[in-house]
Amino acid sequence: MTDEDKKLREQQLEKAVFGDDYVGDSDTSENQDQDQDQDDTESVGFYLDDGLDDGLENDSLDSLSESESDVSSEDSDAWIDSDDETVSVSLTADRLKKLGTEKSLTGKQYVSRLRNQFTKLHPVPKWASFDVEKHETIQPIDEVSGLSTTALADLLNSSVDLVVTNKFLNPQNIDIERLPDPVFMNDAAVQTLDFHPNLSLFLSAGFDQTIRLYHITTKSSAYFKSLKLPTPIKTAAFDPSGKFIYAAGRRRYMYIWNLETGDVQKISRLYGHAESQRSMERFAVSRSGLIALIGSQGWVNIINSAGVWTTAVKIEGIIADIAWGDDGTLTVASQAGDIYEWDITTKTVLRKWTDFGCTCLARKGKVTAVGTQSGVVNVYNAQSFLHDPPKPCSSFNQIVTPISSLQISFDGQLVVFASKGKKDSLRLGHIATGTAYRNWPTSGTPLGRVTALALSAPSHILVTANDVGKMRLWRLNHYAQ
């Protein structure tokens, strides 16, 4: 076989494999090879960068973009087979008689009918068709900080009322279902979660130094906006109006984020109280806007929304946790188990009792929950303080490691508690009967080591976060009326 016969045979094989439009490299001279390589580079739209300037200028790049747009605008098939024009498909078979009364079809007609049938069975989904005219009013989203400040301000000023229910909670089984996870997770362990007081917004913050806002809808929880701070965040919380966020880490100062304007202010150290307030990392915000800061040596400094020191209270020992009551009283617990309820206006102790090994507190209405080192959660109500010493109305001992997170529903019927000392250590308890729900969580519930949890204002949404930055959302259908 001569060389020309071999070359002709190769061209026939190439056309049979790659189609009729394929043109092989039949030129053997060096100059023709270089011209062919340059043409291939321009038609593909990319080139290999070997570190040398091979003369690809801006003009050629512009021509590439124009050629690509021309190609994309044409409605042409990606594969062309000349056999479609000559082939004939018989319709006499039983499976093909339903296509019509014709006895035979050409290849192109047969392919066209198959495509039409496929389109009827599998129509184009709505998300695949993008109408530019319908999306012209969408505001631009910043790549770093999320939704624009104007859109966030409009949402904060919207008159959305959260509907709550006063029905009794089922003490046997909890009606709960999982919601889609947030589309954007944290880069490190989440230290704090908090819900907006009026809207379906919640924040997350932690060791990645970023506050992230999420908007919960009926189908998803969209990433809304974020703020990067120069220090890891231990505590972050909304103010009572929901238009400001307070955030602090292990520093002598605190940040205030104005959600309407996007401005960030800094509350500097408390001059005159520096010895008792070496860090602002742990604080609690009252319904009146006062901020209680856990200090050292048993001190709790209280500042207003502008960061001005107003008053302080002191207990014996190291403070474990603090919690504001709806009536403006402040509960302070020491690690030794001494619990004080203070009247801030008169700076007097209203009551004092002991719950050994206290780690965290939660208050809602007349209900107070205390988490302990042993994993037991004791709940006190108004009748509990008629005894001397006060007697818990209910106790939960399903967790054996120290309680690190604690929340009470708005109506005082449900308590949610968790421990970060052991994986999947989270339980829901019915306060009136003192029983923990057995139907949830299950062995397959993806919780991890829960480092933070939060309930929405009407208690219809529960969000949890773990030590790897993942967050999970659930809807409590009893409260989601």
Q: What is the DSSP secondary-structure string of 26-78?
A: ---SHHHHHHHHHHHHHHHT-----SS-----HHHHHHHHHHHHHHHHS---S
The second-level CATH assignment, the architecture, of 149-268+355-476 is: 7 Propeller (2.130)
The neighbour count for residue 182, using CB atoms within 10 Å, is 24
Chain-centroid distance of CA 363 in Å reads 26
CA distance 329 to 338: 17
The neighbour count for residue 441, using CB atoms within 10 Å, is 19
Domain spans of the chain, in order of start = 149-268+355-476
- The secondary structure of residue 146, as a DSSP letter, is B
pLDDT value, residue 137? 35
pLDDT value, residue 105? 80
- The secondary structure of residue 138, as a DSSP letter, is P
CA distance 377 to 104: 79
CA distance 46 to 68: 11
Q: Which residues of the chain carry a pLDDT beneath 50?
A: 26-75, 130-147, 159-164
Q: How far is CA 427 from CA 252, 414, 418, 436, 462, in A?
A: 35, 10, 6, 7, 12
Who contacts 92 (Cβ-Cβ below 8 Å, separation ≥6)? 103
pLDDT value, residue 316? 93
- Is residue 313 within 8 Å of residue 298, measured between CB atoms? no
pLDDT value, residue 85? 72
- Is residue 461 within 8 Å of residue 474, measured between CB atoms? yes
Helices assigned H by DSSP within 242-363: none
Who contacts 308 (Cβ-Cβ below 8 Å, separation ≥6)? none
pTM above 0.75, yes or no: no
Who contacts 292 (Cβ-Cβ below 8 Å, separation ≥6)? 283, 284, 285, 286, 300, 301, 302, 322, 324, 330
